Amino acid sequence: MAIVIIRQDNKIDSWKKALKANAPDIPIYSYLEEHPKEEITLACVWKQPVDSLTQYPNLKCIASLGAGVDFIFKDQSVPENIPITRVVDPVLASDMSEFVLALILNYFKNLNNYRTDQMKKVWYPQEYKRISDVTVGIMGMGALGEKLAEDLIKNRFEVIGWATSPKNIPGVEVYNGDKEKNTFLSRSNILVCLLPLTRQTTGILNNKLFKELPKQSYVINVARGGHLVDEDLLEYINNGHLAGAGLDVFHEEPLSVEHPFWTHPKIHITPHVASVSDIESVIPQLLENYGRLKEGLPLNNAVNREKGY
């Protein structure tokens, strides 16, 4: 039994080093080095190259190194019978919550505008919003959505949620399914998308949805670029219905330099940094599942292939 790490960014060595430090007896390889393919039982992956998961005849689990697994399903070559797990981690959840809180307060207090004004030595006080002015609607009440709701409530926000199945979350009215979606949207002055990207949720942030939001709502997408129809967002900001948007994720990353989001004064973009897996925090759950594979026990944080998350 052995572990292979497959990712195309510059973090492969950090993951390998940390895994080795925590489990000196387990053989751990980067996919880029010579490694015995038949020994690999666990593949830890993040945006793997297409076809890279087809070479392991004894693979028993594909572990996403992040919360999302959409990139695994997108790769048609990924074997269909192998269980997939994802990261469910309190650090990932609190990082996300801190980021969304920062975006909301930044927007409320016009901080980006003042930064731009500062560069031009412009003194131009503007009206600001208060926490008591708005209701925050969270789409997607999984581990990340729930933590965000909890922290927003601690910060005196009124919070509502929307999920595909009924949820019981203290202090949050959670609307459920298609039939309650428009009621949820009609109350969301700040809409935060934290949905998994699936066939059902692709393109969900579109003009039909924006139309249901109260006038001058603010949209935050920290889930996946595929949730958003870019042209529809531009249309609804430019026609004045939406006040603006905070976007951390994009169809194409890095975002093309030609994309109108870069220079739009009402769109705040960040380079997919809302919440990045913390290696030390995630490693114990990878090793726990490695042990479970060995013992033939059910895996933690297993993904439901039917649902796609």
Residues 248-287 vs ligand GLV: string with x where CB under 6 A?
A: -----------------------------x----------
Number of residues that bind ligand GLV (CB under 6 A): 4
Given 53, 68, 150, 303, the residue binding ligand GLV (CB under 6 A): 68
Is residue 97 near ligand GLV by the rule CB under 6 A? no
Compute the distance between CA of residue 107 and CA of residue 128 in angstroms, rounded to an integer: 9
Our CB check for ligand GLV shows the closer of 66 and 140 to be 66
Is residue 67 near ligand GLV by the rule CB under 6 A? yes
Q: Kind of pairing, strands 217-221 and 242-247?
A: parallel
Compute the distance between CA of residue 35 and CA of residue 40 in angstroms, rounded to an integer: 9
Give the max Cα distance, the chain. Answer: 66
Is residue 66 near ligand GLV by the rule CB under 6 A? yes
The catalytic position among 241, 251, 272, 292 is: 272
- Stretch of residues binding ligand GLV (CB under 6 A), selected from 2-10, 15-23, 50-58, 64-72: 64-72
Q: How far is the CB of 251 from ligand GLV (least distance, A)?
A: 14
Cα 266 from chain centre: 22
Compute the distance between CA of residue 128 and CA of residue 126 in angstroms, rounded to an integer: 6
90: preceding bond cis by omega (within 30 degrees): no
Radius of gyration of the chain (CA): 21
Does an H or E element contain 163, and which?
Answer: strand 158-163
The catalytic position among 7, 187, 224, 268 is: 224
Say whether 224 is catalytic: yes
Our CB check for ligand GLV shows the closer of 196 and 217 to be 196
- Residue 299: DSSP 8-state: P
Compute the distance between CA of residue 243 and CA of residue 134 in angstroms, rounded to an integer: 13
Our CB check for ligand GLV shows the closer of 63 and 213 to be 63
Our CB check for ligand GLV shows the closer of 65 and 160 to be 65
Kindly list the catalytic residues.
224, 272
Q: Which stretches of the chain bind ligand GLV, using CB under 6 A?
A: 66-68, 277
